[in-house]
Amino acid sequence: MTKKYYTSERNVQIVIALLKANGIKRVIASPGTTNMTFVGSIQQDPFFEIYSSVDERSAAYLACGIAAETGEPVVLSCTGATASRNYMPGLTEAYYRKLPVLAITSHRGDHQIGHLIDQQIDRRQRPADIAVESVVAPMVKDSTDEKFCTIEANKAILALKLNGGGPAHINLHTNYSSDFSVQSLPPARVIKRHTLSNPLPKLQRDQRIAIFIGAHKEFSQEETKAIDDFCFANNAVAFCDHTSNFYGKSAAHMQIVFGQNNYTSPLKTVDLLIHIGEVTGDVYRMTPKKVWRVNEDGALRDMFGCLTDVFMMTEKSFFEHYTHDSSEIKRVYLDACLNEYEQFISVIPELPFGNIWMAQQMHQKLPQGCVLHMGIYNSLRSWNFFALNAGIKTRCNVGGFGIDGGVSTMIGASLVRPDRLVFGVFGDLAFFYDMNVIGNRHVGNNVRLMLINNGRGSEFRLFCHMCEKNFGDDADPYMAAAGHFGNMSPQLVKHYAEDLGYEYLTASNKEEFKIAMERFVTPEITDRPMLFEVFTDKQDESDALEIMLSMRSDSGTIVKRQIRKVANQVLGDKGKEFLKLMLKK
In a domain? residue 31: yes
Nearest-Å Rg of the Cα atoms of the chain is: 28
Element (H, E) at 169: strand 168-173
- Judged against a pLDDT cut of 90, whether residue 361 lies above it is answered with yes
Q: Across all residues in the chain, what is the average pLDDT? A: 93
**pLDDT of 121:** 74
In a domain? residue 4: no
Q: Are residues 32 and 148 both part of a single domain?
A: yes
Q: What share of the chain is helix, strand, coil (3-state, %, to 5)?
A: 35, 15, 45
C-alpha–C-alpha distance, residues 563 and 579, integer Å: 9
Total domains in the fold of the chain: 4
Q: Are residues 23 and 87 both part of a single domain?
A: yes
Q: Are residues 388 and 530 both part of a single domain?
A: yes
> Average of pLDDT values for 486-502?
97
Q: Are residues 363 and 509 both part of a single domain?
A: yes
Q: Are residues 163 and 242 both part of a single domain?
A: no
Q: Looking at 345, 363, 382, which one is the last position of a domain?
A: 345
In a domain? residue 29: yes
Domain harbouring 108, CATH code: 3.40.50.970
> Average of pLDDT values for 11-21?
98
**pLDDT of 539:** 96
Q: Are residues 368 and 509 both part of a single domain?
A: yes
Which residue type is seen at 322? Y
Instruction: Using a pLDDT cut of 70, give the percent of the chain over it.
Output: 92
- Residue from 334, 359, 316, 339 nearest 251 by CA: 334
Q: Are residues 66 and 91 both part of a single domain?
A: yes
**pLDDT of 152:** 98
Element (H, E) at 49: strand 49-52
Element (H, E) at 69: helix 56-70
Residue 573: give the domain boundaries: 555-584
In a domain? residue 196: no
527-550 pLDDT tens trace: 999 999 999 999 999 999 999 999
pLDDT range class, residue 324, cuts 50, 70, 90: confident
pLDDT range class, residue 80, cuts 50, 70, 90: confident
423 close to 413: Cβ distance less than 8 angstroms = no
The strands making up 287-294's β-sheet, listed across from edge to edge, are 192-194, 307-311, 287-294, 269-276, 209-213, 237-239, 251-252
Length of the chain: 585
Q: Are residues 394 and 437 both part of a single domain?
A: yes
The 3-state DSSP class for residue 286 equals coil
> Average of pLDDT values for 317-336?
90
> Average of pLDDT values for 444-457?
97
The 3-state DSSP class for residue 562 equals helix
In a domain? residue 200: no
pTM of the model: 0.90
- Judged against a pLDDT cut of 60, whether residue 581 lies above it is answered with no
> Average of pLDDT values for 127-153?
95
Instruction: Using a pLDDT cut of 90, give the percent of the chain over it.
Output: 85
In a domain? residue 204: no
- For residue 284, the 8-state DSSP code is S
Domain harbouring 296, CATH code: 3.40.50.1220
**pLDDT of 127:** 81
**pLDDT of 1:** 78
C-alpha–C-alpha distance, residues 451 and 445, integer Å: 17
Q: Are residues 420 and 539 both part of a single domain?
A: yes
- Residue from 135, 99, 108 nearest 18 by CA: 135
- Residue from 285, 288, 264, 284 nearest 274 by CA: 288
**pLDDT of 126:** 76
In a domain? residue 184: yes
Q: Are residues 543 and 559 both part of a single domain?
A: no
- Judged against a pLDDT cut of 80, whether residue 517 lies above it is answered with yes
In a domain? residue 350: no
pLDDT range class, residue 524, cuts 50, 70, 90: very high
Alpha helices in 160-293 (DSSP H): 221-234, 255-258
Q: Are residues 562 and 541 both part of a single domain?
A: no
Q: Are residues 330 and 183 both part of a single domain?
A: no
170-194 pLDDT tens trace: 999 999 999 999 999 999 999 999 9
pLDDT range class, residue 554, cuts 50, 70, 90: confident
